[in-house]
A and B are shown apart, each in its own frame.
Chain A
Amino acid sequence: KNEVEQSPQNLTAQEGEFITINCSYSVGISALHWLQQHPGGGIVSLFMLSSGKKKHGRLIATINIQEKHSSLHITASHPRDSAVYICAAGPMIYNQGGKLIFGQGTELSVKP
């Protein structure tokens, strides 16, 4: 079992739909990162969470530390949101050297 699990692995939505991507982790973390990667492209950091909820535009990320679970929500989805969304756990202790533990990614396709 992976230390960071994402679901679903693939998601197709119609433009305008509300989208949720889930992430569960089994390791101790200091922060949980949500990343976005467009096809063939580099990675963009969307959120870094250690508690509660963050919002940026149409994107909302939440985390429940007790349940070791985080969600990424996209409101009013748009075709330009089509990308791979990756959840990554940031290590709890310094001597892990900043080694992010990545989930397998969720490939999102938003159809017009």
Chain B
Amino acid sequence: DTEVTQTPKHLVMGMTNKKSLKCEQHMGHRAMYWYKQKAKKPPELMFVYSYEKLSINESVPSRFSPECPNSSLLNLHLHALQPEDSALYLCASSQAVGGYYGYTFGSGTRLTVV
């Protein structure tokens, strides 16, 4: 299996809702990433997990809460989001952190906050 699987593909949520995004890989990669991408812009890094520990939080608001329950699974818990949080959320993985490793990206979750 050489894929990163993200669910759901689309999500519409109200500003008072709580929802979660899920990302799964079975390549044995030990680094996993959450990116946020707005239209016509490159992805922006949100969080990096290395060996199931949070290694980078790019000053992301606390309404986004990441979780890495095991080496194959990465979640992003969403609570009290704002309309400006509407974006494509991409998950990626690599063998380990650092620039020597290739990245595998998921197909993303298109989030709309109403």
CB distance from A10 to the nearest CB of B (A): 11
- Measured in the bound complex, the distance between the Cα atoms of B40 and A102 in whole Å is 13
B43 touches A102 (CB 8 A): yes
B97 touches A97 (CB 8 A): yes
- Interfacial chain A residues near B110, Cβ < 8 Å: 40
- Interfacial chain A residues near B34, Cβ < 8 Å: none
Which residue of A has the minimal Cβ distance to B48? A97
- Interfacial chain B residues near A76, Cβ < 8 Å: none
Of residues 29 through 53 on chain B, the ones whose CB sits less than 8 Å from some CB of chain A are 31, 33, 40-43, 45, 48, 50
Q: Which of A41, A89, A92, A98 has the most CB of B within 10 A?
A: A98
- Interfacial chain B residues near A98, Cβ < 8 Å: 31, 33, 48, 50, 94, 96-99, 101
Q: Which of A29, A35, A42, A97 has the most CB of B within 10 A?
A: A42
Q: Does B55 contact A (CB under 8 A)?
A: yes
CB contact between B90 and one of A33, A43, A50, A97 (< 8 Å): that residue: A43
Interface residue ranges, B against A (CB under 8 Å): 6, 31, 33, 40-43, 45, 48, 50, 55-56, 88, 90, 92, 94, 96-108, 110
